[in-house]
């Protein structure tokens, strides 16, 4: 099954030379600074390279972060921080607030900001792969794996590094807890979308698919709630996506729950469940239009025209008609089933 995911833009950053004439001396130190400069440039280059794969990204990120640790932790492995931690000023833009940069003279700020972009890259890689027609089983696993890696990076930054910043994260910007939490939950929800698609392809029990869809809808609702106190000018488009996905997977849950009820000859309850599915599908359809019309970070697309959306509409319609036919047979048992 093909998928569609909303994506906020990558963070941009100012160049860093890592030249410290008179401060860092000796050929070994100069070599480390040169390697830092080139490994940072290489990593930034890969963020927009469509041929980059997870192995290339991991290698480049590991190379840069291992060198950057020398600016954060003391080389004698004590608990003291490096004397170089505050030597360099770093500037990064924001995924929601556009080209207005934040700057901190702190290598931890650089570690978090670059790590944030690495996590974003994994979500974008997953999105490109998931949007392909006729995605293979191996590709679906790669999408799932990439989303789990991204969620893990966001979680690690939130739990292990944000508190170390000397200057606290500004409200409504990327490094604030609310935004990081929203990114974590969105990755979890999208990974579960892949699980649902696989369950449908393998024709698993409708009850299982309904339960997974309901849980996914709850993930999206939780992510949307996490962003509810942010400035609408920056978060409106993202929140439209989260809300429409919540409605979409609620419709999925009701649709497959209806199939479970139908299999138990509970036609009346099945019809009511499918009618709820229709309502939530209609809400999702309206939100798709609103999403396309809402200004803000993210792609300009029409989700309602996407294959993943149209498929559910057809499924709800056909399942409801089947329930109504079955209910008619049960109400009039003298009629023959063909």
Which residue bears the tokens 């997953």?
A: 126
Six token digits for residue 253: 């849950």
Please indicate, yes or no, if residue 335 is contained in any of the structural domains. no
Separation between Cα atoms, residue 123 and residue 110, nearest integer Å: 20
| C-alpha to C-alpha distance for 286 and 81, rounded to whole angstroms | 53
Asked whether 4 and 131 are in contact (CB, 8 A), the reply is: yes
pTM score above 0.75: yes
The pLDDT of residue 337 is: 43
Cα gap 243→224, rounded to integer Å: 7
Pairwise CA distance, residues 51 & 40, whole Å: 18
Task: Please tell me whether residues 70 and 135 are part of one structural domain.
Answer: yes
What's the CATH number where 8 sits?
1.25.40.280
Same domain, 186 and 243: no
In a domain, 19, yes or no: yes
Cβ 122 vs Cβ 142: under 8 Å: no
Residue 192 shares a structural domain with residue 221 = no
Residues 6+ apart with CB under 8 A from 307: 2, 133
Count of structural domains within the chain: 2
Q: Residues 293, 302: contact at Cβ < 8 Å?
A: no
pLDDT value for 136: 87
Together in a domain, 297 and 256: yes
Output the pLDDT for position 182. Answer: 97
Q: Residue 330 has what pLDDT? A: 54
Cβ count near 3 (within 10 Å):
20
CA dihedral sign, ordered 262, 264, 268, 273: negative
Residues 130 and 41 in one domain: yes
Of 117, 128, 194, whose CA–CA distance to 153 is shortest?
Answer: 117
Q: Indicate if 219 and 140 belong to the same structural domain.
A: no
Print the SS3 string covering the chain: CCCCCCCCCCCCECCCCCCCCCCCCCHHHHHHHHHHHHHHHHHHHHHCCCCCCHHHHHHHHHHHHHHHHHHCECCCCCCCECCCCCCCCEEECCCCCCCCCEEECCHHHHHHHHHHHHHHHHHHHHHHHHCCCCCCHHHHHHHHHHHHHHHHHHHHHHHHCHHHCCCCCCCCCCCCHHHHHHHHHHHHHHHHHHHHHHHHHCCCCHHHHHHHHHHHHHHHHHHHHHCCCCCHHHHHHHHHHHHHHHHHHHHHHHHHHHHHHHHCCCHHHHHHHHHHHHHHHHHHHHHHHHHHHCCCCCCCCCHHHCHHHHHHHHHHHHHHHHHHHHHHHHHCCCCCCC
Distances (CA, A) of 310 to 12, 238, 288: 35, 21, 12
* Residue 122 and residue 7 share a domain: yes
262, 307: one domain: yes
Q: Does residue 177 share a domain with residue 228?
A: no
**189 and 225 co-located in one domain:** no
What confidence tens digit (pLDDT) does each residue in 165-179 have?
A: 999 988 889 999 999
Give the whole-angstrom CA distance, residue 174 versus residue 94: 6
In a domain? residue 140: yes
> Of the residues 203, 227, 259, which one is the last residue of a structural domain?
203
**Whole-angstrom distance, CA of residue 247 vs CA of residue 337:** 35
Q: CB neighbours (10 Å) of residue 52?
A: 15
Residue 101 lies in a domain: yes
Which of 153, 168, 203 corresponds to the end of one domain?
203
187 and 220 co-located in one domain: no
Q: Are 43 and 91 in the same domain?
A: yes
Which of 174, 203, 232 is at the close of a domain? Answer: 203
pLDDT of the residue at 199:
92
- Whether residue 260 is contained in a domain is answered as yes
* pLDDT tens for each residue of the chain, 338 residues long: 678 899 999 999 999 999 887 676 678 888 988 999 999 999 999 999 999 999 999 999 999 999 999 899 887 766 678 888 999 999 999 999 877 899 999 999 999 999 999 999 999 999 999 888 778 889 999 999 999 999 999 999 999 999 999 999 888 899 999 999 999 999 999 999 999 998 998 899 999 999 999 999 999 999 999 999 888 888 999 999 999 999 999 999 999 999 999 888 888 899 999 999 999 999 999 998 899 888 887 766 666 666 667 788 888 888 888 878 877 655 555 444 43
Which residues constitute the domain of residue 85?
A: 1-203
pLDDT given for residue 335 in this prediction = 46
Residue 247 falls inside a structural domain: yes
- Does residue 338 form part of some domain? no
Q: Within a domain: residue 182?
A: yes
């Amino acid at each position: 099954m093909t998928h569609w995911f909303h994506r906020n833009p990558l963070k941009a950053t100012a160049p860093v030379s890592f030249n410290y004439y008179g401060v860092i001396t000796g050929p070994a130190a100069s070599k480390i600074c040169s390697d830092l400069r080139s490994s940072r440039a290489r990593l930034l280059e890969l963020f927009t390279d469509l041929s980059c794969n997870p192995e290339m990204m991991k290698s480049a990120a590991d190379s840069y972060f291992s060198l950057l640790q020398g600016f954060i932790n003391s080389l004698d492995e004590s608990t003291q921080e490096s004397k170089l931690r505050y030597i360099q000023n770093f500037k990064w833009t924001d995924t929601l607030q556009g080209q207005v940069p934040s700057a901190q003279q702190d290598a931890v700020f650089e570690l978090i900001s670059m790590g944030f972009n690495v996590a974003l890259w994994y979500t974008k890689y997953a999105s490109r792969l998931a949007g392909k027609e006729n995605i293979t089983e191996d590709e679906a696993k790669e999408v799932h794996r990439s989303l789990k890696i991204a969620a893990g990076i966001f979680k690690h930054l939130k739990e292990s590094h944000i508190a170390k910043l000397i200057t606290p994260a500004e409200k409504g910007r990327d490094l604030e807890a609310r935004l990081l939490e929203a990114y974590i939950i969105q990755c979890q929800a999208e990974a579960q979308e892949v699980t649902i698609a696989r369950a449908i392809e393998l024709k698993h029990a409708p009850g299982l698919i309904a339960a997974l869809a309901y849980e996914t809808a709850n993930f999206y609702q939780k992510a949307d709630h996490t962003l509810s106190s942010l400035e609408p000018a920056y978060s409106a488009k993202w929140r439209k996506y989260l809300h429409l996905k919540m409605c979409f997977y609620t419709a999925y849950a009701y649709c497959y729950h209806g199939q479970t009820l139908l299999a138990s000859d509970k036609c009346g309850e099945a019809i009511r469940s499918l009618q709820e599915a229709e309502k939530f599908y209609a809400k999702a359809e309206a939100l798709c239009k609103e999403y396309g019309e809402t200004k803000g970070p993210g792609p300009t697309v029409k989700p309602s025209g996407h294959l993943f959306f149209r498929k559910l509409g057809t499924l709800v319609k056909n399942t409801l008609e089947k329930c109504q036919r079955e209910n008619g047979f049960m109400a009039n048992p003298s009629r023959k089933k063909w």
